[in-house]
Structure 1
């Protein structure tokens, strides 16, 4: 189905962003799965469902330090429902007294049984004696060793964790596509899992191109531009979960560029270049990678996309292994937006992560903004939750090209191809950036 926005983009010779992304992402496949030790699986995505081989807890155990007892021995015939005092330090006060017949620690393994009027001193994590159905916390007793006086009676079952109470054997722990978080590692380990099958983190190589580029640590001079892109994109790839490698700067030398990319295919699942995607005299990346060889088209196709900032994007494969390559513009703001729009979804797809796109919300716009017709604009913005529910979004000064705006943003305001102005008070789409603040 062709929308009005798609038609307008086509009239301008531009490819609608949704069409372009669909055509690129359909060419990518998740990386082959690996069986990894659990300690190495953090940060990866599960490649298959994981089922618990054992229950957790694996046995009835104490949840707190205290005394494992039979509730009927301490409840006074049922009068101790809830946290009810059953003894007073004043003369004539009642007390519940039990014989302490042993101590159980977390390493105890011999089964023991309670007899009426007795209890065991237990540490948190210790196996429960047979017949125990409550653990009285230490602080509710006189902490006796041979006999203990109990001042307060908990509910039946207090301080007890039963076998399989949290996870039963055979239960589904996580679906394929689930991100392996530290908490999930704990659950997997607790149920007896030592290895999991995951999609490996994609190895992403970042290359900045251009004769004008100089490395960081100095200021720009006429004819020189400090390479901010390769550093920023390496950080962005790492934030997306990739194993990111910054190669650095490559001059606009055809043979040097070809050789560099060929070398990097040996260690990369994805290559990202920045710079040279336009049609100007110095845009070497586009000229080299899209060049026809005999009757064959070049390995990378460059497309003018209805995207603002940075309409010129490239995608294809390089090397005998046909490693995917994403070519982003040289302007730092356009490169960062291009990464969010194209490179980040590609990394997520290779990693097997779902969904591949950032989450989005609908937000109340606090300031009127204008946008170029026929282009889908991504503008740095600050998103906040409203006290009564929902979100507000404040566009940041300078528009989409400003690095300072991107550094401050926790969202990207999205203005569609047909939007030339969005009034304050209107509702707009916002992509949420997972900045750790």
Structure 2
């Protein structure tokens, strides 16, 4: 994961958002492809084009319960003058040796059953007397294809055109067609298509395994009693859920106390199940910023052979302190995010989500962006020299700020569906101005 040749140098360098993101995305590489069973491939990205080996449907079949007949034999049929046909037998779904239908004959046919040779169309059972010898019937009686009607005659009360109620071979896809293109994310409909064309396994890039952990001796798990000076750990829940939303298999680790040895030991233990590590908290310049203490490059590779983590100052708000690098013998990527709830979540959306989707092998890794008119009671202010990301509610081409600029305002974050982007060069944005927004939902 060495990308030093393209990185800005100097401890005092302030990284732009784009520089930091570019460094991450030029370092992280898609996971190697593997062959998976269909259900295990859900949510994964297809590596190769898949072509159709056999047409769907593979044979002409009936789309209705009814009777397979020749068109000429029911031409002119009506309620007053029904066409009387001899029923030669039943054709059920899965029938391997269907009956032949000759002049003046009909074969009772079930939905999905192959069209018998000689038959050109299907008349629904509702258009007949159901083979019961009387007048036309309807409702449940008309739909009942009981064995008693399997012989004798059926009276057809309406004509049918050639191919009516028939699913022709290849009407869905034909042999040789492209079923799914490489890069497709496999959801339920895509898995259904693969199964329908006979594919039991598929070659994909696996969903990345992401381990998320919070740091801080003040953190307490939800449902536990808070003591003075303690707060509940929300970051690990938010980021684990966000990683799953991005497509990863995410594991949440309980909060780690402010002890560098404990943190490093916990990370080492988690590497066995991680394609990407994400920490939150402990990346600033305080006395207890243990992530920085435990993982900082310090000019050397870490003991396990990984490249270490570089801690940076970014020209953004919230999310000024960030860390990025690799750890362990497999050089597992690690992103160290700030500890304030809004800072960590905004950092995830800007940096971690694209990294996850790059590991998946996707080409489009970013949240969509659009332009919107700012609806606000007063001008938005932003510190000079920083790109600010404010929470907002976007709808119908307008965006309204939600909450303030504070990086601790998690309640406001819960009501936002977008981030309002205020560029580095702007210190004020007036209501009614057009702004860029990142769409989160």
- TM-score after normalising by structure 2: 0.85
Q: Is the 8 A contact 2:45 2:183 kept in 1?
A: yes
1:8-47 equivalences in 2 (<5 Å): 14-47=14-47
Q: Is the 8 A contact 1:290 1:298 kept in 2?
A: no
Question: Which residue does the alignment assign to 1:176?
Answer: 182
Relative to 1, partners in 2 of residues 1:342 and 1:369: Cα closer, same or farther, differing over 3 Å?
A: farther
Corresponding residue number in structure 1 for 2:369: 360
Query: Which one of 393, 408, 426 corresponds to residue 382 of structure 1?
Result: 393
Report deviation, 1:221.
4.5
List gaps (5 residues or longer) in structure 2: 1-9, 132-148
Counterpart for residue 276 of structure 1: 282
Question: Equivalents in 1 of 2:369, 2:436: separation in Å?
Answer: 7
CA change 1:139–1:431 in 2 (3 A) is: farther
What is the Cα deviation at residue 245 of structure 1? 1.1
SS of structure 2 residue aligned to 1:152? coil
Deviating above 6 A after TM superposition, structure 1's stretches of 4 or more consecutive aligned residues are 295-298
Give the alignment partner of residue 212 of structure 1, picking from 186, 208, 218: 218
Counterparts of 1:269 and 1:298 in 2: how far apart (Å)?
A: 15
- Which moves more between the two structures, 196-205 or 232-241? 232-241
Q: CA RMSD in A?
A: 2.4
* Deviation at residue 294 of structure 1 after TM alignment: 5.5
Q: Which whole-Å deviations, capped at 9, do the CAs of 1:333-390 have from their partners, x for residues lacking one?
A: 11111111111111111111231112233333333651413322333323334xxxxx
Change (3 A) 1:350 1:139: same
> What does residue 87 of structure 1 align with?
78
1:370 aligns with 2:380: yes
How far did 1:407 drift?
1.8
Count of equivalent residues: 406
Separation in structure 1 between the aligned mates of residue 271 and residue 439 of structure 2, nearest angstrom? 32
- What residue is the counterpart of 1:351 in the other structure? 360
Secondary structure in structure 2 of the residue aligned to 1:381 = strand
8 Å contact 2:301–2:308 — kept in the other structure?
no
Q: CA deviation at 1:408?
A: 2.2
2:166 is aligned with 1:160: yes
Q: Could you say if the C-alpha distance between residues 168 and 250 of structure 1 is closer, same or farther in structure 2, counting changes exceeding 3 Å?
A: same
Alpha-carbon deviation of 1:186?
0.6
The whole-number CA distance in structure 2 between the counterparts of 1:49 and 1:295 is 40
1:58 is paired with a residue whose SS is coil
Structure 2 counterparts to residues 316-331 of structure 1, below 5 A? 316-331=325-340
The answer to whether the 8 Å contact 1:414/1:429 transfers is: yes
What is the CA–CA distance in structure 1 between the aligned matches of 2:156 and 2:426, rounded to whole Å?
A: 72
Deviations 1:224-247 (CA, angstroms, capped at 9, x unpaired)? 222111122111112222111111
> 1:290-305 maps to which residues of 2 (within 5 A)?
290-292=296-298, 299-305=308-314
Residue segments in structure 1 that go unaligned for 5+ positions in a row? 1-9, 77-85, 386-390
Q: 1:200 aligns with which of 197, 206, 215?
A: 206
Cα offsets for 1:132-161 (capped at 9, x unmatched): 332222223222233223333454322111
Any conservation in 2 of the 1:371–1:377 contact (CA below 8 Å)?
Answer: no
| Compared CA separation, residues 147 and 395, structure 1 to 2 (3 A) | farther
**Equivalent residue for 2:429, pick from 394, 397, 422:** 422
Partner of 2:5: none
Equivalent position of 2:416 in the other structure: 409
Q: Distance in 1 between matches of 2:234 and 2:192?
A: 39
1:262 paired to 2:273: no
Distance of 2:223 and 2:435 partners within structure 1: 40
Distance 2:291 2:322 in 1: 11
Farther off after superposition, 158-167 or 355-364: 355-364
Deviates further, 251-260 or 328-337: 251-260
SS in 2 for 1:149: strand
Which residue matches 1:101? 88
How far 1:87 sits from its partner (Å)?
A: 2.4
